[in-house]
Chains A and B, each alone.
Chain A
Amino acid sequence: NAGVMQNPRHLVRRRGQEARLRCSPMKGHSHVYWYRQLPEEGLKFMVYLQKENIIDESGMPKERFSAEFPKEGPSILRIQQVVRGDSAAYFCASQTPETYEQYFGPGTRLTVT
């Protein structure tokens, strides 16, 4: 039973480029959360999605960031025109439908040069 998968594990982008981070939840999970961890800080919630719907995006920066979870395929966190301050570890978690525990992926480490 595969866990939450994220790719790429490491991503390097130059300022102004776009970053696309992918998250495949555990089998049978249709709820996905994205969290960001800045260097030396704790994890902060960004967005909560169900299949084809954004339910809570209260933690998303107002500009340049977007997320989707299509009917088929992984959830995508997209960052347009990246800046150095976007350098962080981005984790996604999927949630069990009955007991609501969240299980995390290994994260994507984004470095903006």
Chain B
Amino acid sequence: DAKTTQPPSMDCAEGRAANLPCNHSTISGNEYVYWYRQIHSQGPQYIIHGLKNNETNEMASLIITEDRKSSTLILPHATLRDTAVYYCIVRVKAAGNKLTFGGGTRVLVKP
């Protein structure tokens, strides 16, 4: 699986959009970009994933650049409960493909 690079931490104001960048310059054509988050030692929570098109669900939006070398997770209106470590992971979408967690981005949402 390709490696990813994320900033170690970032702050965000409550109610504002949080934009979390991720670089994955060695991503392969069949690898998807997945985002998970872990809120204070809870089990990681699946957020969203995409291949090349932008994706949106009830939690977040995922913007993938045209060359697929980077992506941005957008939390449109951050709340205090969004404080967590966010992980960007690239992997082939197939049975048996484990998730490889890097350091992630520690996001602190401030009032």
Contacts and interface: CB of A to CB of B under 8 A. Distances in A.
Interface stretch (A12-20, A74-82, A98-106): A98-106
A103 B95 CA distance: 13
A102 B94 contact: no
A35 to B, nearest CB: 8
Given A103-B46, A104-B45, A106-B43, A42 B104 contact: yes
Contact of B95 (A89, A95, A107): A95
B42 A107 contact: yes
Nearest to A100: B93
Contacts, number: 55
A106 B98 contact: no
Interface of A is mostly: strand
A89 B101 CA distance: 15
A33 B95 contact: no
Interface residues of B, number: 22
Given A43-B44, A91-B43, A102 B104 contact: no
A101 B87 CA distance: 14
Interface in B38-95: 38, 41-46, 49, 87, 93-95
Contacts of A104: 43-46
A33 B101 CA distance: 14
A101 B33 CA distance: 11
Given A91-B44, A99-B93, A107-B42, A45 B103 contact: no
Contacts of B87: 42
Nearest to A58: B98
B30 interface: no
B29 interface: no
Given A31-B95, A95-B95, A100-B94, A42 B103 contact: yes
Nearest to A44: B101
A106 B103 CA distance: 20
A21 B100 CA distance: 22
Given A55-B96, A107-B42, 18 more contacts: A4-B43, A31-B95, A33-B98, A35-B99, A42-B103, A43-B38, A43-B101, A45-B100, A56-B98, A59-B98, A91-B43, A93-B43, A101-B34, A101-B49, A102-B46, A102-B99, A103-B46, A106-B42
